Structure 1
């Protein structure tokens, strides 16, 4: 029986709410980045085993809200190719989340975010189509999603690299997040990570997330997307570097 339970101290809860709010503004504005920013930031002072399932729940809520409005623009063939790889590799990623030490999990999270953010910032684009790329991206996304709730970043990178249209990119990402996060949440529950405290945290974070999404959509209508996206990627890189430094310190025996 589920019961409200939250033992998180105020000095952790307040910054966490601020991070959720800011990341939701980013998601509402650019269409991606919520999981990457929240997981990377929250993992600096909260256990990844608590953070990742919570972000899965929030991403599901956001995707369900957005999906009806973009369903007709989804690239169904690409979505199917991505989902095959993701379905296979997500359980492996969840297993890594469950069994790796916290410092190693944080290190993996930050390395993946840093690499993807740098590539996105450099703006790589594909010149010749590669039919194997979507399936391979799905495999990488599944590992990243199960272990760190950042499975969307490899997919975003692939879509930008292949010069996919903005409308199809946004719509396919919304559908992809809806499917993959529900699937990953089921596996986290199977690994006993979906605790009362995690569910309570998700409920607490829901309000700032909804507010942030609304603000982000408003800002998107008022200004250009590129400058904000670049700012978000620089922020992701900065947070990743901080996380890598802390992980390295912990692995060398620091507090």
Structure 2
């Protein structure tokens, strides 16, 4: 019963964060899900819920998507999904969490120091490739996109919509590949059903809050999310 309550609370706040900023569900949710379930089950549960979240939200914001950018992200991700699947199947999850946590903290420090990355078509594809690798491996595509786009001038509305459309693609591909090569179990799907109501509640409240978050607040939230996730991954490993 305690685990169910933790699951409901985590999913609610993670979906609220995702709906209000465009990032956060996997970044915040995955570390806590890893405490409740075995690693591969937690990663798969996160992907299922993230896919549901993307499906619930995409219709209402579809007109805000930057389709040329979305295309570059998707094409780049095709390079990263297979290596990511191999990491999911064979790499020790604690080692990978240390690598990712360290990377997130270092790059966030660079962002706070206002070290910027000029956006180019090639770098869009590279960001998509890294996000694809992280999705099929640990179910967390957000950090490379968040780090990359936070240093650009991309409007928060277009950023949220485009990344959400990208998630819809990459989560679906990752879920199919993980189930095909690594299997699944009943616990994952039962937990997914339990989490649907708090997921929807978080989406509704988050979309309301999105209207009141300006660019400066958005950027501060971004830094807090990244630092929290990086430190949590290091401690949890």
TM range, smaller chain: 0.7 to 0.9
Residue 76 of structure 2 corresponds to which residue in structure 1?
A: 85
Residue of structure 2 equivalent to 1:189? 179
Partner of 2:64: 73
Does the 8 Å CA contact 1:93/1:144 hold for their aligned counterparts? yes
Relative to structure 1, the CA distance from residue 108 to residue 48 in structure 2 (aligned partners, 3 Å threshold; closer, same or farther) is: farther
- Rounded to whole Å, the distance in 2 between the matches of 1:59 and 1:82 is 18
Q: 1:76-129: CA deviations, max 9, x gaps?
A: 221111111212211211221121223224334433544455455555544x55
Contact 2:127 2:145 in 1 (8 A): yes
TM-score, with structure 2 as normaliser: 0.87
Moved more, 190-199 or 32-41: 190-199
- Matching of residue 43 in structure 1 with residue 59 in structure 2: no
C-alpha offsets along residues 9-36 of structure 1, whole Å, 9 cap, x if unaligned? x343322321111111111211211111
Is 1:144 matched with 2:134? Answer: yes
Which one is further off, 109-118 or 200-209? 109-118
Task: Indicate how the Cα distance of structure 1 residues 213 and 49 shifts in structure 2: closer, same or farther if over 3 A, else same.
Answer: same
Matched, 1:34 2:25: yes
Total equivalences in the alignment: 237
- Kept after mapping to 2: 8 A contact 1:39/1:48: no
Unmatched 5+ stretches in structure 2 = none
Does the 8 Å CA contact 2:24/2:225 hold for their aligned counterparts?
A: no
Structure (1 or 2) with the larger CA radius of gyration: 1
| Aligned structure 1 segments of 4 or more residues deviating by more than 6 angstroms | none
CA–CA distance in 1 between the matches of 2:59 and 2:113?
Answer: 32
Cα offset for 1:180?
A: 0.7
Mapping of residues 196-207 of structure 1, within 5 Å: 196-207=186-197
> Matched residues in 2 for 1:186 and 1:95: separation?
14
Contact 1:97 1:147 (C-alpha < 8 Å) held by counterparts: yes
Measured at CA, do residues 228 and 15 of structure 1 come closer, stay the same or move farther in structure 2, by a change above 3 Å?
farther
Q: Are the structure 2 counterparts of residues 200 and 36 from structure 1 closer, same or farther at C-alpha, using a change threshold of 3 Å?
A: same
The worse-fitting range, judged by mean Cα deviation, of 95-104 and 225-234 is 225-234
The structure with the greater share of residues assigned to helix is 2
The aligned residue for residue 44 of structure 2 is 53
